[in-house]
Amino acid sequence: MYQVGHFIGGKHVAGTSGQTQPIYNPATGEIQGEVSLASAAELNAAVENAKAAQPKWAATNPQRRARVFIKFVELLNQHMDELAALLSREHGKTIEDAKGDIVRGLEVCEFVIGIPHLSKSEFTEGAGPNIDMYSIRQPVGIGAGITPFNFPGMIPMWMFAPAIACGNAFILKPSERDPSVPIRLAELMIEAGLPAGILNVVNGDKAAVDGLLTHPDIGGISFVGSTPIARYVYGTAAMNGKRAQCFGGAKNHMIIMPDADLDQAANALMGAGYGSAGERCMAISVAVPVGEETANRLIEKLTPMVESLRIGPYTDDKADMGPVITKAARERILGLIDKGVEEGAKLVVDGRGFKLQGYENGYFVGGCLFDNVTPEMDIYKTEIFGPVLSVVRAKNYEEALSLPMKHEYGNGVAIFTRDGDAARDFASRINIGMVGINVPIPVPLAYHSFGGWKASAFGDLNQHGTDAIKFWTRTKTVTSRWPSGIKSGAEFVMPTMK
């Protein structure tokens, strides 16, 4: 059994609080490791290291900061297999899916290599008589990130890469369920040339989260998790004078128009609904076929595909998906499926009884497919975060459009159609943050921003893209005039350019 501590000041630090949490193998249900939960002293040590290192890092020119990320990207590629195996061992997702997790984080690191250009600001010569005006983007100081279990490689990099590139120090509090990859990323950042103390990893529970939210030396907080916790983090951070970007739950719909290529749509739903066992905030969990004929044909195509899903441990390179993260997550998912049946939805494919020989104690859930789901049902309203796809039949386009429009979450949405007018109208009217047109999981690339609307996000600025540069810096505007030509005597009226 292995031990995971913290990474503070450029080195591994064993936990001293005496509090630990087991790390399970989701495929077997066995305890494979143990993670230390930080004490207040350990959290303070991380902040003090960050505070000591940050001024010199902020004074390092952007091109030299970029070179650290050039080397880091090189190291990520070199260690891809190792990182994917570490990630899969603790999360349970397949190796290829784990590599995708790492690569989407790597792409943000590639993006911030452009920080010399991204951090440039504005200058106006002659804004007034002998007056020049310019703005400067300066780092927040110390940032902190609180990341979820489902993307232990990608989301930490989405947070710390832009923050550090902008000249901040950063404290990462990853999920205690799969903590090994974040620690390894910190090691690789040091190997890439990052000064000690700029990236610290502190494992912990709610006490560590509250410590970050209330610490007076932390200037910005980034969070990804459930909506109730996102609300709590955002509100607590704001009350303590911190800027915050907090991303919560989702219930992503995919509209299938009568003219859509149904083979393409069915394949898209399989990957987007069941990939990573549905444990993605951008998973499609609601399919909305328009018209009875479209719905019947879609169910006919999906049923054998869901029934034939290959489910296995991450060591099975032919597996389509692995287990869910914990026993509690499995029980919650099964409970919601039971509730869907009780409420009258038709369970076309029932994966509740799935057992894998040799892995009977693993946290596996077979693929489930519901038909005739209605908006009043819990399985429609709730983010299940498991391999469950609900089909909600719509009579026409307007009814289909109204479903995601009325839902409390607004993270992602997609439409499959050959009609450009319908696609354009959909993209224009929908009140969702990320929209896919014939793209099931519309996660933007690194140079655009990621973020939802409504109860899926709290805060004005999104993750990665130019929004991240704005979030992790503060704007300072300078108005300058030099003595030559200055009129003598005091002026008591409001200065204008008149």
Q: Residues 59-71: pLDDT tens digits? A: 999 999 999 999 9
Domain boundary among 437, 470, 489: 437
Residues 270 and 177 in one domain: no
Buried b (16+ CB within 10 A) or exposed e, 77-110: eebeeebbbbbbbbbbbbbebbbbbbebbbbbbb
Q: Which candidate, 51, 42, 53, 45, places its Cα nearest to that of 20?
A: 42
Residue 491 within a domain: no
Residue 482's CB is within 10 A of a number of other CB atoms, namely 9
- Kindly report the average pLDDT of the chain as a whole number: 96
Per-residue pLDDT at 129: 86
372 plus 412 within the same structural domain: yes
Cα 272 from Cα 386, distance rounded (Å): 12
| 148-168 per-position pLDDT tens digit | 999 999 999 999 999 999 999
Average pLDDT over residues 135-147: 98
pLDDT at 497 > cutoff 70: no
Is 449 among the domain residues?
Answer: no
pLDDT at 492: 80
489: pLDDT strictly greater than 80: no
User: Over 80: is that where the pLDDT of 123 sits?
Assistant: yes
What stretches of 430-497 show up as alpha helix (H) in DSSP? 465-471
In a domain, 353, yes or no: yes
- What is the C-alpha to C-alpha distance for residues 498 and 312, in angstroms, rounded to an integer? 73
For residue 136, is pLDDT > 90? yes
In tens, the pLDDT along 75-119 reads 999 999 999 999 999 999 999 999 999 999 999 999 999 999 999
What is the DSSP secondary structure assignment for residue 275, as one 8-state letter?
Answer: G
| Number of structural domains in the chain | 2
Band of residue 498 on the pLDDT scale cut at 50, 70, 90:
low
Please state the pTM of the whole predicted model: 0.96
Same domain, yes or no: 350 and 207: no
**Extended strands (E) in 79-118:** none
- CA dihedral sign of residues 487, 492, 496, 498: negative
- Whether 483 maps to a domain, the answer reads no
42 shares a domain with 103: yes
When pLDDT is cut at 50, 70 and 90, the band that residue 138 belongs to is: very high
Residues 386 and 402 grouped into a single domain: yes
Q: What is the pLDDT of residue 264?
A: 98
- Is the pLDDT at 236 greater than 80? The verdict is yes
Residue 447 lies in a domain: no
State whether residue 21 is helix, strand or coil: strand
**Which pairing describes strands 169-173 and 142-146: parallel, antiparallel, or unpaired?**
parallel
Pair 238, 265 in one domain:
no
- What pLDDT does 485 receive? 59
The mean per-residue pLDDT over the stretch 411-426 comes to 98
Active site residue 368: no
Nearest to 389 by CA among 296, 294, 268, 293: 268
In three-state form (DSSP H/G/I as H, E/B as E, the rest C), the secondary structure along 114-128 is CHHHHCCCCEEEEEE
Decide if 436 contacts 417 (C-beta within 8 A).
no
What is residue 493's predicted lDDT score, i.e. its pLDDT? Answer: 81
181-185, 206-210, 487-491: which has the minimum mean pLDDT?
487-491
Determine what percent of the chain is predicted with pLDDT higher than 90.
Answer: 95
**What is the C-alpha to C-alpha distance for residues 220 and 213, in angstroms, rounded to an integer?**
9
Q: What is the mean pLDDT of residues 392-399?
A: 98
Residues 44 and 153 in one domain: yes
CA distance 36 to 68: 29
Q: Has residue 493 been placed in a domain?
A: no
Does 128 fall in a domain? yes
Residue 144, exposed/middle/buried by CB under 10 A (0-12, 13-18, 19+)? Answer: buried
Residues 179 and 130 in one domain: yes
Q: Are 244 and 237 in contact (CB under 8 A)?
A: yes
Q: How many CA atoms lie within 13 A of 488 on its CB side?
A: 0
With beta carbons less than 8 A apart as the criterion, state whether 360 and 327 touch: no
Q: CA triplet 69, 72, 73: central angle to 5 degrees?
A: 90
pLDDT at residue 484 greater than cutoff 90: no
59: domain range?
2-248+456-478
Instruction: Kindly state whether residues 266 and 220 are assigned to the same domain.
Output: no
Q: Are residues 228 and 290 in the same domain?
A: no
Residue 303 DSSP SS3:
helix
| Distance (Å, whole) CA 460 – CA 234 | 11
Q: Give 1: exposed, middle or buried? Use CB within 10 Å, 0-12, 13-18, 19+.
A: exposed
- CATH number of the domain within which 335 lies: 3.40.309.10
Q: Do 113 and 186 share a domain, yes or no?
A: yes
Q: Which of 109, 166, 246, 281 is catalytic?
A: 281
**Maximum Cα–Cα distance across the chain:** 90
Q: Are 304 and 349 in contact (CB under 8 A)?
A: no
Q: What is the pLDDT of residue 483?
A: 78
Q: Hey, which residues does 434 pair with through a beta bridge?
A: 412
Residue 486 lies in a domain: no
On whether both 377 and 239 belong to a single domain, the answer is no
CA of residue 232 relative to chain centroid, distance: 17
254 versus 483: which is more confidently predicted?
254
CATH number at residue 219: 3.40.605.10
